[in-house]
Amino acid sequence: MTGLLLVTAVEPEAAAVRAGVDGRLTVAAVGVGPAAAAAGTARLLAVAEAGGRPYTGVVCLGIGGGFAGRVEVGGTAIATRSVAADLGAESPDGFLPIDDLGFGTAVVEADAGLVKTLRAALPGAAVGTVLTVSTVTGTAASTEALATRFPDAVAEGMEGYGVACAAAGLPFAEVRTVSNVIGPRDRAAWRIPAALAALTEVGETLGLA
């Protein structure tokens, strides 16, 4: 996967990926949330292109929450698409995605070639939609609503859709390692070290591919 830019939200995630990549690919933390991640990714892509060393694709990596029964804590999720799950409008009849409002789309498909390579390299990973949210899901009601709206969703994070928008025109993929089950907020149940260790394993895979 020579020439890929690997981006995370925060430095601990980037450090975990770097430990696996071992200098073979560029890894950078670009900020938390879709707006910061999009801006940070766009800047890195523009600087590389201006310097005559453009990247060939972008992979968003990080820890995130996983839907119960769809991916295990400590496991890995590969996105077939990244969806801005809370981009839209409320209505008396429920949430209206931006697609239904006619203002664009909240869905970015992952590059089929990258997904195929990632699936071959990470055969134990769950595969499906990864949701991008600006507010992390923390109640049973909101978890049920998302699981119903997105029956193929395996995980959620806060940056994928933003990175995908910044990478427009380049192959894009998103990989999440799972630190917690999506649902009522329970910090005691989070397994962040396990998710970061899994990120290092993903980095090793990307660095050798």
Higher pLDDT, 205 or 176: 176
pLDDT for the residue numbered 188: 87
Burial of 148 (0-12, 13-18, 19+ CB in 10 A): exposed
CB 155 within 8 A of CB 130: yes
Reported confidence tier of residue 209, pLDDT bands at 50, 70, 90: low
CB 58 within 8 A of CB 144: no
Distances (CA, A) of 44 to 20, 54, 139, 153, 199: 21, 10, 36, 29, 21
User: Is the pLDDT assigned to residue 207 strictly greater than 90?
Assistant: no
Reported confidence tier of residue 1, pLDDT bands at 50, 70, 90: low
Nearest to 18 by CA among 195, 175, 204: 204
pLDDT for the residue numbered 93: 87
- The mean pLDDT of 168-195, rounded to a whole number, is 95
pLDDT for the residue numbered 206: 87
- The mean pLDDT of 152-156, rounded to a whole number, is 98
Mean residue pLDDT across the chain: 95
Reported confidence tier of residue 203, pLDDT bands at 50, 70, 90: very high
pLDDT for the residue numbered 59: 98
Superfamily the domain 4-208 falls into: Nucleoside phosphorylase domain (3.40.50.1580)
Reported confidence tier of residue 208, pLDDT bands at 50, 70, 90: confident
Strand, helix or coil for residue 8: strand
Looking at 9-13, 102-106, 113-117, 204-208, which range is the least confident one?
A: 204-208
CB 136 within 8 A of CB 66: no
pLDDT for the residue numbered 101: 95
